[in-house]
Amino acid sequence: MVRAALPVLLASTLAAQTFEQRGFVENRLQLFPQTAPNDRAHAVDQMTVRWESAYRPAPWVRFNVSFDARADTHRQVDRQSRVSLDDRRIARPALNARLWSVQLAKGPVTLEVGRQLIRWGKTDALPITDRFAPRDYLSSVVEPEFLPVPAARLTIAGSHDSLDLVYQPWFVPSRTPLLNQRWTVPPDSASGLSFSDAGARYPGGAQLGVRWNRTTGPLDYSVSYFRGRANLPLFEALAPADPVPVRRLYPTMETYGADVAWQSRWVTLKGEAAYLGTRTSGAEEFILYAIQAERQIREVSLAGGYIGSVVTAAGAAALQFAPDRGLAKSVFARASWTIDPNRALTFDTAVRRNGSFARVEFSQAIGGHWRISPGFVWLRGDPLDFLGQFRRNSYFSLALRYSF
């Protein structure tokens, strides 16, 4: 009996175990028709190799691992081959342990510990309550990539309610543009000066967040609280020299947020707002909010709305990088057309009073593994506007991806 039962037990154990893997190799080329005062290059080429895996030895546990390898022509990628575990480098790491986490699930409770992507909020145009999601702005201010963070995340989900608790033991900043490249535009007060990067003053301590979400019929809403640091920096000049050494610092942040989505037969309405306070001298306190409407018409998805802001306490910092504030007070729109299973066309734009951008991209699948995606980003506006300052940075892009 025991011998007869062993094959059955072994077969059931192996059936419960699953291993999944996937990845891609992508080459992305950017062509800039104009040069910038601090960047004479017309072309930037980037290569990314990503491998993702998930292993589930039992139904209640899952291990996630993802690695990146990168190279480029513009020194946006670190030339050292050491593996990055904290993502605090100025440049992108050449080798990066992008994700590594273990996920435990039992009934309504899920606990994930490790480096992971955490997304909050409901609107698409701007991260308002999304405080655990730093971004990589090295290659483009209007097409950033989300960065994972090391955290312990406990989610308790019921039939209508869910509670999300997040503890992040160490800080991960957004990756800001390099000072000697075109996505860094010094203010007029610093005209004629050059700058050198003096690193960062990274804060200690943990970041905490809690979010409660409720779904009832067509209505879905949540409230959230975050305490930690802004992942976008202020800059301080360390000495009157040439070049001027500049160091990044990250102000404290306390965020009270709420979001809502209401779905009807014809349109989905979304709203999101947050108050972002600080105890750091020289940093702004403000309210960000967004209103968005969505509509699906067969293979066409349409979305549009408005992003607003209200400054409640003005800051005194002369140098800062704040795309969240820079994209506020704008009307935005997005359209996506799935032409067929192999082709898609997307368009999005944001228009402020003195600046705007527009992006269009066509995507074509070739066979079962290849995809080619040409696109164009158009930036215009007043030099004093956040978007307008990048008026020399319009670019063509061409991405070629092989997925496996």
- Whose structure tokens read 């309550």? 129
d(CA 360, CA 363): 10
Output the pLDDT for position 89: 84
Region 165-174: mean pLDDT is: 96
Among 63, 50, 60, 65, residue whose Cα is nearest residue 16: 60
User: CA 151 → CA 78, 104, 127, 169, 319, distances in Å?
Assistant: 25, 14, 19, 6, 30
Q: With 80 as the cut, is the pLDDT of residue 303 above it?
A: yes
Cβ neighbours around 380 below 10 Å, total = 16
Q: What is the band of 124 on the pLDDT scale with cuts at 50, 70, 90?
A: confident
273 belongs to a structural domain: yes
Which CATH number is 104's domain given? 2.40.160.10
Q: How many CA atoms are closer than 13 Å to the CA of 48, on its beta-carbon side?
A: 22
The answer to the question of residue 8 being in a domain is: no
Determine the average pLDDT of the residues in 98-102: 96
In a domain, 325, yes or no: yes
How far is the C-alpha of 148 from the C-alpha of 71, rounded, in Å?
20
* Domain around 156: 19-403
Q: Which is higher by pLDDT, 237 or 75? A: 75
Strands 195-201, 395-403: pairing is unpaired
How confident is the model at residue 2, as a pLDDT?
Answer: 43
Instruction: Look at residue 3 and tell me if it is in a domain.
Output: no
Predicted confidence at residue 181, as pLDDT, reads 93
pLDDT beyond 80 at 15: no
* Interval 233-289: pLDDT, tens: 998 888 887 788 889 999 999 999 999 999 999 999 999 999 999 999 888 999 999
Decide if 55 is inside a domain: yes
Residue 355 has pLDDT above 90, yes or no: yes
Dihedral pair phi/psi, residue 7, rounded to 5°: -60, -40
Q: Which has more confidence, 203 or 372?
A: 372
| Percent share of the chain, pLDDT over 90 | 78
Give pLDDT, residue 317: 65
Cis, bond preceding 243 (omega within 30 deg of 0): yes
Which pLDDT band, with edges at 50, 70 and 90, does 156 fall under?
very high
The pLDDT of residue 318 is 63
DSSP for 175-208, please give it. Answer: BPPPTTSTT----GGGTT--EEEEEEE---S-EE
The residues, ordered by sequence, that sit 6+ positions from 302 with a Cβ below 8 Å of its Cβ are 294, 295, 296, 333, 334, 335
Q: Mean per-residue pLDDT for 192-207?
A: 85
Global pTM?
0.90
Contact between 213 and 220 under an 8 Å Cβ cutoff? The reply is yes
Instruction: Give the rounded percent of residues in the chain with a pLDDT score beyond 70.
Output: 94
Residue 50 CB neighbours (<10 A): 19
Phi, psi of 4 (to 5 degrees): -70, -30
Q: How confident is the model at residue 13 (pLDDT cuts 50, 70, 90)?
A: very low
The Cβ of residue 219 has, within 10 Å, a number of other Cβ atoms equal to 11
Q: What is the pLDDT of residue 9?
A: 39
What pLDDT is attached to residue 144? 94
- Measured from the Cβ of residue 332, the count of other Cβ atoms closer than 10 Å reads 22
| Residue 84, pLDDT score | 83
Asked if residue 352 is part of any domain, the answer here is yes
Is the predicted pLDDT of residue 67 greater than 80, yes or no? Answer: yes
| Neighbouring-strand partners of residue 155 | 110, 164
The closest of 330, 317, 153 to 235, measured between CA atoms, is: 317
Rounded CA-CA distance 119/344 in Å is 25
Does a structural domain hold residue 12? no
Q: Is residue 371 part of a domain?
A: yes
**H or E element: which one contains 13?**
helix 2-16
Rounded distance between C-alpha atoms, residue 81 and residue 96, angstroms = 9
Number of domains into which the chain is organized: 1
- How confident is residue 12, by pLDDT bands cut at 50, 70 and 90? very low
The whole-number pLDDT of residue 14 equals: 46
**Which of 46-55, 148-157, 242-251, 265-274 shows the lowest mean pLDDT across its residues?**
242-251
pLDDT at 316 over 80: no
Could you tell me the pLDDT band of residue 190, with boundaries at 50, 70 and 90?
low
In which band, very low, low, confident or very high, does the pLDDT at 189 lie, cut at 50, 70 and 90?
low
Helix (H) / strand (E) containing 54: strand 43-58
